[in-house]
Structure 1
Amino acid sequence: MLFSPSLNVLTLASLIASPIVIAARLPSNQFSPRSSFELSADICAYIDVEIAVDVNLGLIDLDVNVDVKACLCLNTLVDFCAQKAAAQGLTTTQHTKLLTSLKNMIQRPGGAGKMCTYPSTPGCSQSCSASNVCGFTCPVGYKPSTDQYNNPTCVCSSSDYWSCNGQCIPNGQLCPSQAPTSPKARANEKRRQAHPTRPWCPRGKSACGIYENGGDAWECVDTTSDLESCGGCTIPLRASSIPGVDCSQIPHISDVACVLGECRVFKCRRGFVVGKNGTECVADQSSRHDQQASFLDVTSMHFKS
């Protein structure tokens, strides 16, 4: 069978001009986040979209569509993308593009992401879903509730019990001391007793300096969520420590939070808008143009009169 040379050239040219789309749908079951966490805040969103991660084969560009239908949080996004990449057989470049695209969808200003806060109750877990992206599950014996400031919390399911060291015990029963039981915990306690002036903090927190007259005062801070020591200590105790950022000092902010060690701006003062990176407030150029236009209109009316 003979092929027309002109047809072959035309077919190849059309392939080069138009990217080929390979739809590769993966299971759209809800992604299961980590069972428990020491997390006070996160940004979550329900994502239902197909993301194209292109592959360059020289003369031909192939677009591989990854179907994403899941409730995702920044805290669990890396694990989710790793599972998708493994199931699809994505290259490192495609994996990175998928991660970047989803991250931008969740955390960009005005995007699908929602700021979520969680209880500090041990054993609490994220429970992100399409109906409630900020959902959480309390440990056995507890139920979801809110405190006097409308912050989410876990309280004992029965009014006959009260919370003690992460457990619900009957009212009137004394709360036992939380003495270390594991060998590692006992070893850490011995170090604290041997060096009482040396900063020791529980796992997940860092020893940061505080402003105080005289002495080397310090406190234990969760630098992944602390507003004034975000990403590190604002007053490091060691010269080699990575300094943190005081999110409250970002110019022109109105609403800001520290999420996973990074300042996230959600609202700015009048005349300013949230920047593209979501970490600063920039001048609202549209309002400036409107003011200039109004000034020009008034000026032209003045000359006409």
Structure 2
Amino acid sequence: MIFMIPIHTFTLILHLFASAAYASRQPFLGGCLKSNSAPANSLAISAISPSQCATQCWSEREGTRYAYWDSRSDDKCLCSPFPANAEDFTLNNEDEASKTCAEGIAVYVRAPESPNFQVERKRAGKGGLGDVSRRAEGLCPTPLTACSVAGNSSIYECLDLNVDLNSCGGCVNGVFGSTRRAHSAVDCTSLPGVASNAATCLYGQCRAFRCNNGYILTKGHICVADS
């Protein structure tokens, strides 16, 4: 006997699965801030290392997406649901070996898992796939967006467009149900002049922190040819 899952039940299952994946995702170093520039509403917690700071922010402070670690401050670990001002980021302070900052404040971002969800056309409701497109924002838990997957119009993946390295600032294959790519969408791994594993996505914008030979890093975290 074959049971058909009602669309609202099927969507709820996707929400629960994505939420669990989101909660288990490890943080990554998003960059380095100038001293004393963490968001004013950040909450201090006790931690003895950058990694402990990040993981405890996620587990102890609901809604936290950013952890700020300042080894020279009395309140070394700060948790916040909000990012710092983009202009407060500094250049070339990342310590790659320890995944922290040589000086200033290390910013850790809670990056979501990006699971692929199979969505069958017969489960898309009376409006078909187009109806799913109109409800694309409700297919993934906040702050994720349902983005199309190249080569298969019946599959979407839940991405955080503020931090996703391969789909930064928008869905590179379009929002689920649409074939149009967002003008703001960028694959940070394909930027010219950027060294391997030397870019991140923050606030929906690619930020390079190291360039290949023949390129120089600008204040805007962009690699340009050294003329």
**TM-score range with shorter-chain normalisation?**
0.3 to 0.5
Taking structure 1 as the reference length, the TM-score comes to 0.35
Q: Which has the larger radius of gyration?
A: 1
Taking structure 2 as the reference length, the TM-score comes to 0.46
